[in-house]
A and B are shown apart, each in its own frame.
Chain A
Amino acid sequence: MALDEIKIGGLGASRKRVEDNRFIRGKGNYVDDVVLPGMLHMEILRSPLAHARIKSIDVSGAWAIPGVRLVLTGEMMAARNLAWMPTLSYDTQAVLATDKVRFQGQEVACVIADDPYIAKDGCEAIVVDYEPLPPIVNPVQAMAPDAPLIRDDKVNQVDNKIFDWEVGDKDGTDRAFADADVVSEIEMHYPRSHPSPIEACGSIADFDRSTSKLTVYMTTQAPHIIRAAVSLVAEIPEHMIRIISPDLGGGFGNKVPVYPGYVASILASILTERPVKWIEDKSGNLISTGFGRDVYLKGQLAMRNDGKILGVRMHTDSDHGAFFSDAQPSKFKIGLMHSAFACYDIPNAHLTATGVYTNKAPGGVAYRCSFRVTEAMYFQERMIQAAADDLGMDQAEFRRVNLVRDDDFPHRTPFGFLTDSGQYEKCLDIGLEAVGYADFKQEQEEARKRGRLLGIGISTMTEPLGAGNSREYDILGIKMFDSAELRVHMTGKAILRTGAKTQGQGHETTWAQIVAHELGIPADDIVVEEGDTDTAPFGMGTYASRSTPVAGAAVAMVSRKIRAKARKIAAHLLEVSEEDVEWELGRFYVRGAQDRGVSIQECAMAAYSNVPDGLEPGLENNAYYDPPNLTWPFACYIAKVEVDPETGVWDVLKMVAVDDCGVRINPMIVEGQIMGGLTEAYAMANMQFITFDEDGNCIGSNYMDYLLPTAWETPGFELHEVVTPCPHHPIGAKGIGECATVGGPAAFVNAVMDALKHTGVRNIDMPLLPDRVYGALMTGNDISGMPPVKTEA
């Protein structure tokens, strides 16, 4: 009889995460846990200044310290053509500075020593003579006519602009604005933040001269891309490079780029012929590695009086830091910013984008989002709320008028994506009901009379998750598809490998559930392995919520290939023709005689012991999956807050999340992802940002200044679900890892703005720190596009 799918840990089972067995016992194996014989330790000397010419570097003090084995400087890197490396966005980035330092925290020298203490002492003993240059910390300064040129290393670079980019229909949009009854305008900044995974970055490079093989243990979300990059940068043949990404303590996009520390540790190992370990400290991670966001928006919506949106205009100015090293598909300069307004039926849209260099750390990474989708959805939902207010229309009703209807799919988004499914209004209704929206207006009114400020903020959005398809999505020309390889052993147990790389998402648990669903092999009988380029099939890695949409689909597809072969074996065992074999979960049986059957395990044994003539023995296969489209999960987040008018402090009274991510493989893990995402959303709205003073000093270089919320202040969340299966994904799943981070912040900010509505304040830039909220309340003025925070001496 067919197996009970939940019992075998198939689709829909809230199976406990198998990886947690080792994590909660402290038995995880992270890069820093790896100890190789004869291993040396590397520390990085970083620039204290944001912008300065290097006049000289004296490393003699470091060499004088016993136990120091090697000192690397930019000059030594340059001698090996390694002073600069290519970025993921067709720019170059300094590995170790030669001419100038361009941001505070930039890598200037490395000391390799017997232990990390000595290496750190060595860094302290290096004397660098800097000639300070004027620093640039925002796009306005960057584009000023007399601004100092940051990238004077680049031929033909005459100013600090990186790109101008546009998408959409300018003329159509102009006409829509000309026809509009009401035009709503708003400006805002999505501040810079940092993914800050609990484990910082690190690597152990181990070059073996006798075999010419380079093995690198590395904190990377995309080991295969790294292998290719190292091969190109270090000119080592690709088959002689093995990248191992062991357990990762979170990634959130931070572990996608190639960092100078990786490259330096590799060169150090080649030169010393010993393994070299580099483990970044938390401050190094916060000040130098891939940040998220830092985009300014000018947004306009054209509307009819009845609330119908006719057109959207957006202009973004993005601050990429000193090197353009965003990790994103190469066609799109400002990521998927143009996914904005995808859930609304809007005929005309036009987006222009300008990117600039500044004296800040490089690497706009997709911090828990699909390439700037976070900014896109935040801007969208803030613009929507301001527009509803400008029209004098209820914010829920305004959304209802403009949301794409269930029978309108497939639907072309304002900027040209194709969405394929959803039940937007249903999600909105569930959310409104759960938060008690119907009674809220009166509650708000009465509270206001008693001097209490209450507000409700809504955020509804669909986002594009799971890049490719490969027609449109590539990184440095490498197409964005993914793969899975499944080997079923003769006893019916199996090993599954993919080219993705789990960092906390729980692939070891959920991939096995997909196999269980497709083959009826209990999930506990399947081991999942990722992260070793010598054993895993090629893949683009895990970020941008792509694992379930792409690698997860490959897992289903490879399982189906295995099932197809097992069917032939079953026909042989059952002595009937293949056409007469039926499948139910876990077994094949003879059509019309359900009791005559063989289990998948019996087929596996036969694959190694009793193969029909003409069939290859064994039960192994792989699948490469190139998705036909992105997946489009939908979410409705609603926050209810109270603002203390005397202090500007605000508290979340209720937070409701309605997520439609299609079929849920493991509901418990999905809920965990949403909870984590909402926590980060709350963090963005409330406290978490990296800012710079006017000298380019990073405010947020440690956890006293860079605030991550703890369990203490994080509010409770109420989760609801709607399931609209993805029409093109083999098991109907959509991405979910990032929805709440992407859609959540606007709900909190909209709620605070709603509470302040009567004062005329329309925008306060995140984070909504108490002093900003209080300041806006006092003056009635927006706080938008903040200049750098001035720290008085």
Chain B
Amino acid sequence: MFPSRFDYKSPTSLEEAISLLAANEDAKVLAGGQSLIPMMKLRFAAPAVLVDINNIPGLDGHGAQSDGSYRIGALVRHADLEKSSTLGDHQPTIAAAAPLVADPIVRTRGTFVGSVCHADPQGDWASCMVALGGSIVAQGPNGRRTIAVDEFVSGPFQTVLAADEIAVEAVIPPASGTRKGGYLKLERRVGDFATAGVALSLEMSGSTVAKAGIGLTGVGSSTISATEASAVLVGSSLDDATIAAAAEAAAAATSPRSDHRGSADYKRHIVATFVRRLLAQHQPVEAKVA
């Protein structure tokens, strides 16, 4: 597999990288390369210039901030998240998804932010971001701006990033209660993209749901935010009837297509099943008995 000819630049500061993007038409940011390089080898993508951001210092950290938000730098790899000993305490949804993204080899290179920038409707991270109401911080020639993920992803494989902007980090806002959540993915084999995936985020006030978010992977032409399903959950204590209603609402929010991974009906059914399974994990003991 031989890509088309391209130029390769390896800047060591964000400013330099941004000016390279501005100066070169048809330039692309190279992060983990786990989506871009395969596309180039298949000649689906043929950027004239690659701007490799891997040598820019300061982009590889992730952690909880004093304001309660959680930040993930542009060079944080899937494996950094998977292996983190503290992530689960703050971000159970992300911690649950990390070992399910791609395969162990891809995870050592691919980045969280790069995945969101790639905007693949089958990307697992965008669903987590949607469920958690996260944003992307982008830096361009005129400084930084923060873009909510629903606006950031403008379509399949499309974002609102300008050609000379770099996504420098992802931000997950503070929780308004106790944070709970999880991620379930049906894949045929490790490294397979999701037949269907469900990201769940709950912010609990006691045994009541204060805030909820559900992101769906692989069941539409872009990442889906199941807002009605989330709305059903808010104010409830996750009783069986609420769980059933949320599962149904989430399935209704999908628009999957039939393909070799499964029929549209099957994918819808999996979404409902996974929503139910995830919520059952967080059902307070009282609700289970009731």
- Asked if B214 CB lies within 8 Å of chain A CBs, one says no
**In the complex, which of the residues A116, A649, A789 contacts B186, with contact meaning CB atoms closer than 8 Å?**
A649
B98 at the interface (CB under 8 A from A): no
Interface membership of A710, Cβ < 8 A? yes
Minimum C-beta distance from A696 to chain B (A): 15
The reply to whether A704 and B193 contact each other, CB–CB distance below 8 Å, is yes
Task: Look across to chain B and name the residue whose beta carbon is closest to the beta carbon of A771.
Answer: B262
Contact in complex: A769, B263 (CB < 8 Å) = no
Number of interface residues of A (CB under 8 A): 36
Q: How far is the CA of A116 from the CA of B192 in the complex (A)?
A: 30
Q: Are B260 and A789 within 8 A (Cβ)?
A: yes
Q: Inside 8 A of B186's CB, which chain A residues have their CB? A: 647, 649, 770
Do B189 and A771 have beta carbons less than 8 Å apart? no
- Judge whether B257 is part of the interface by a CB distance below 8 angstroms: yes
B286 at the interface (CB under 8 A from A): no
Chain A residues lying within 8 Å of B2, measured Cβ to Cβ, are: 43, 116-117, 119-120
Q: A117-B2, A712-B190, A775-B266 are in contact. Are A646 and B273 (CB under 8 A)?
A: yes
Q: With A and B bound together, what is the CA distance between A649 and B262 in angstroms?
A: 12
CB of B240 within 8 Å of the partner chain: no
Assess the B259–A789 pair: CB atoms within 8 A. yes
Is the CB of A397 closer than 8 A to any CB of chain B?
Answer: no
Contact of B191 with A by CB under 8 A: yes
- The reply to whether the CB of B43 lies closer than 8 angstroms to some CB of chain A is yes
Distance of A43 Cα from B2 Cα, bound (Å) = 10
B269 at the interface (CB under 8 A from A): yes
A646 to B192, CA, bound (A): 20
19 further interface pairs, Cβ-Cβ under 8 Å (given A648-B266, A699-B260, A791-B257): A116-B2, A117-B5, A119-B2, A120-B2, A283-B1, A283-B42, A647-B273, A691-B260, A704-B192, A705-B260, A710-B103, A710-B189, A712-B103, A769-B188, A770-B188, A771-B263, A771-B266, A789-B258, A792-B258
- How distant is B37 from chain A, measured CB to nearest CB, in Å? 14
- Indicate with 1 or 0, residue by residue over B253-268, a CB within 8 angstroms of chain A CB atoms: 0000111111110110
Inter-chain contact A792/B259, CB cutoff 8 Å: yes
Contacts of A648 in B (CB 8 A): 266
A-B contact count (CB 8 A): 76
Residues of B within 8 A of A702 (CB): 42
User: Does B13 count as interface, using CB distance less than 8 angstroms?
Assistant: no
Q: Counting CB contacts under 8 A, is B93 at the interface?
A: no
| B200 lies within 8 A of chain A by Cβ | no
- Residues in A neighbouring B273, C-beta threshold 8 A: 646-647
| CA distance in complex: A707, B190 (Å) | 10
B277 CB → nearest A CB, Å: 8
Q: Which residues of A contact B (CB under 8 A)?
A: 43, 116-117, 119-121, 124, 281-283, 646-649, 686-687, 691, 699, 702, 704-705, 707-710, 712-713, 769-771, 774-775, 789-792
Q: Does B4 contact A (CB under 8 A)?
A: yes
- Would B1 and A281 count as touching, CB distance under 8 A? yes
Whether a CB of chain A sits under 8 angstroms from the CB of B223 is no
Interchain CB contact under 8 A, B195 and A770: yes
A790 touching B262 in the complex, CB below 8 Å, given contacts A120-B2, A707-B192, A710-B190: no
Q: A116-B2, A124-B43, A281-B1 are in contact. Are A707 and B188 (CB under 8 A)?
A: yes
Q: Please report the C-alpha to C-alpha distance between residue A646 and residue B184 in the assembled complex, in whole angstroms.
A: 14
Judging by beta carbons under 8 Å apart, are A707 and B189 in contact?
A: yes
Task: For residue B82, give the distance in angstroms from its CB to the closest CB of chain A.
Answer: 14
A282 — nearest CB in chain B belongs to which residue?
Answer: B1
Asked if residues B189 and A687 are in contact (CB atoms below 8 Å), the reply is yes
B270 CB–A CB distance under 8 Å: yes
- In angstroms, Cα B147 to Cα A448, docked, is 51
Q: Report the minimal beta-carbon distance from B61 to chain A, rounded to whole angstroms.
A: 29
Complex-state Cα separation, A646 to B4, whole angstroms: 46
State the CA gap A691–B260 with chains docked (Å).
9
Q: What are the nearest 3 A-B pairs in CB distance?
A: A771-B262, A771-B266, A712-B190
Q: Could you tell me if B266 and A774 are in contact, using CB atoms closer than 8 angstroms?
A: yes
In the assembly, what is the distance between CA of A212 and CA of B119, in Å? Answer: 57
CB distance from B52 to the nearest CB of A (A): 20
Q: In the complex, A727 Cα to B36 Cα: how many Å?
A: 59
**Which B residues, 173 to 188, have Cβ-Cβ distances below 8 Å to chain A?**
186, 188
CA distance in complex: A705, B195 (Å): 12
Q: Closest CB of chain B to A111's CB: distance in Å?
A: 12
A713 touches B260 (CB 8 A): no
Residues of A within 8 A of B259 (CB): 789, 791-792
In Å, the complex CA distance between A282 and B2 comes to 12
In the complex, which residues of chain A have a beta carbon less than 8 angstroms from the beta carbon of B43? 120, 124
Contact A713 B190 (CB under 8 A): yes
Chain B, 237-265, CB within 8 A of any chain A CB: 257-264
B189 near A774 (CB under 8 angstroms)? no
